[in-house]
Structure 1
C-alpha cells in the first residue's frame, strides 16, 4: 500500500486526532506567548544579547542531558499520561513566572531556573507526543496528519507571538498566566484521548542498550541521519529568533507589538506551506526538495540580517518559515513514518534533542556571536553558512539527496 496522491479531510473525523490537534494548538500558543514574554522580560532587565542566548541554553540543556531517559519513558509508559503530566508541570512553571513578574524583583536567576524546568518538561512531552501521533491515524492518512498537525502548530505560532506582544502591554504576568491556562487545558485534552496502548506485561530493563537504541537506529538509517543532522546544523547556524528583540528595538525601532509581528512571520510562512503540502504532498524528489529548502532558508536569513525595513524583514522571515516547513515535513515523515512503534519514543527523543540544538542552542550561539561581533554580522554570517551547509550535505549524504518518495511502499 502506498500513500494516497492527495490527503483527505477525513483525518479530522478521528476524534482522537481532533483532541491531539487541539492540544498541539494550545501548547503552540502557550510556547510562543511564553517565548515572547521571557525574551522581552529578560532583555528589559539586562539589555544583554548574551542574557538572551543563555535563555536558549537553559531551555536546551535539560533536553540534551535527559534525551535517553525521556525516550525510554515514552516507549515504556502510557504516552498520553507522560505528555499530560509534562504539560501540567509547564503550567506550574508559568505560574512561577507570574509570581516573579508580580514581585518586581530584578534578579534574573529565578527566571533561568524556571526556564530549566520548562526545558525539562518539554523534553518529556515532545517525544511522547510525537510517538503518539502515528498510533492515532491509519497509515494512508499519515502524511495528511503530519501536514495538518504542522499547520495547527504553526497557526498557533502565528497567533501566539501576536497575543503575547499584545498581552505584554498589560505586563509579563498577563502573558505567563495565559500560557499557564493553555498548558493546563492541553493536559486535560491529552488525558481525554480515547486510544489506549496495549498493556505492557514486561517492562524492558534500563540498560545502555535499551536507552541508546534510538541513537543506534538513526545511525543505521543514512536518510534519517542526514535529514535530522541537516536540520540541526542549518538552523543552529541560521537561526535568528533569539536576536529578534534586538532587531525590533535597535534596528527596526518597534516595540513589543512589532516583536510579536516579527515572531509571527516564520509561522505564517510555515502554515501556508503546510496547508499546501496537506493538499499537494511531495510526490517525488523529497530529498532534493529538502536540500533546496534549506538553501532558500539561508538566503532569506541573510536578507533579513541586511534589512532595515520592517515590511522587508517580515517578508524575509515569512520565507524562512515556508522553507523550514518543507524541511520539517520531510524530516518528520522520515522519523515517524519509518520507525517501528516500539522504538518510536526513543528515536523521537533523539530527534527532539536535534531540534532543540537547532533552536535553543542556536539561540545561545546567536546571542554569543552577536555579543562579540554585533547582531547584523552574526545573522548574515549564519545565513551564508546555512547555504553552504545545504550544498555540503548533498555530498555527504547521497542517500538523502537521492531519496525520491517520502514513505516506502508497505
Structure 2
C-alpha cells in the first residue's frame, strides 16, 4: 500500500493546507491584486463624490432642473459613444498607459473645476459644462481599458474570488463616497471638495502605476474599428436574452431613474442639504451590496427572466414611492430597495 502526501498549493501560506486557509487568502496575498483593490476603492470614492458634488453645485447655482439635464447629457454622451471606440483601442494599445492618461485628464478636470468654483458667476456654466464634457471623454476610454486590465491582473484560477472582491471594493467606495462628499461640502466648501476628489484620483493613479504592465493579447481578428463595432452589435441583436435584458434595464433606468434629480429632492423637497444628498446617493449602493451578498448564497439562476421582470417592477414601485415621499427616511428606504 502506498501513501500520498498532499502538498499545499504554491499560493497558500507556509504550513497552511488549502482546505484550512480562508477562502480569499490566496488572492489577497498578491501585491498586484491588493493594489488593484486600493485603486478600485479610491476610484469609486472619487467617482461618486464627483457625481454628488457637481450635481449639487449646478443646482444650487441655477435652481433650474434643466441644468441637471444638460449635465447628464454632456457627461453621458461622450462617455457612451467613446466607450465603443475605447474598447477597440483597449484591445490594441497598452491598457495601463490608457488608464493613467485618462486619470491624469480627470485630475486636471477636478483641479479646473476647483478654480471655477471659487468664482462661478465670473466663469459661468459654459466653462463648467466644457470641463464635464472632457471628463466624459476620458471616462469613455478609462472604463474599457480598466476593466480589461483587471482581468489580466487576477489569475484565471482565482477569477471568481478576485472579481467579487474588486466589486465589493467598488461598492464600498460607492457607499462611502456620497456621505463623505456631502459632509465635505458642508464643512469645507465646494472648491476644497474638488481638491480632495483630485487627491483621491491621484492616490488611485499611484496604486495603478505600481502594478506592472501586462502585454496586450493579440486581437482575435484583424478588423477595422467599424467592423468590430458591427460585429458587437450583431452579436447582441442575435442573442435575444441578452438584447432583451439590456433593453429592459436601459429603458427602466433611463425613464424611471431618479439619481440625476437627487439635488432637487435634497434641497427643495426634503430640505436635507448636501449631507442628506450624500446619504440619498449612497442608499442604492447599500441595497446593491446586500443583494450581491444574497446572490452569492442563492444565485437567482432559476427562472432568470421572471426574476428580472420582478426586479424591474420592484424598481418602478420604489421610484413611485420616492417621487411621492416628503419624508427623508422613507425616501432613503425607497432608494435602498431600488
Task: Please confirm whether the aligned pair reaches a TM-score higher than 0.5, indicating the same fold.
Answer: yes
1:259 counterpart = 2:277: yes
Kindly report which structure 2 residues correspond to 1:8-407, keeping only aligned pairs within 5 A, or say none.
8-9=23-24, 10-106=26-122, 107-139=124-156, 141-169=158-186, 170-194=188-212, 196-198=214-216, 204=222, 206-278=224-296, 280-282=298-300, 284-320=302-338
Root-mean-square deviation over aligned CA pairs? 2.4
Q: Which has the higher contact order (CA 8 A, sep 6+)?
A: 1
Specify whether residues 206 and 266 from structure 1 end up closer, same or farther in structure 2 by C-alpha distance, changes over 3 A only: same
Q: CA, structure 1 residues 140+305, in 2 after alignment: closer, same or farther (shift >3 Å)?
A: farther
d(CA) in 1 for partners of 2:322, 2:47? 24
State the TM-score, normalizing by the size of structure 2: 0.85
Q: In structure 1, how many angstroms separate the alpha carbons of the residues matched to 2:200 and 2:142?
A: 15
- Answer whether contact 2:284 2:337 (CA < 8 A) is retained: yes
CA contact (8 A) 1:76 1:204 kept: no
Counterpart of 1:196 in 2: which secondary structure? coil
Q: CA deviation at 1:188?
A: 2.2
Larger-Rg structure: 2
Task: Give the conservation status (yes or no) of the 8 Å contact 1:36–1:164.
Answer: yes
Question: In the superposition, relative to structure 1, how do residues 219 and 300 fare at CA in structure 2: closer, same or farther (>3 Å)?
Answer: same
Taking a change above 3 Å as real, the CA distance of residues 229 and 11 of structure 1, as seen in their structure-2 partners, is farther
> With structure 1 as the length reference, what TM-score do the two structures score?
0.71
Secondary structure, aligned partner of 2:75: helix
Gaps of 5+ in 2: 1-21
Q: 2-side partners of 1:75 and 1:187: how far apart?
A: 21
Is the 1:147–1:275 contact (alpha carbons within 8 Å) kept by the matching residues of 2? no
**C-alpha displacement of 1:303:** 1.0
Question: Between Structure 1 and Structure 2, how many residues are aligned?
Answer: 314
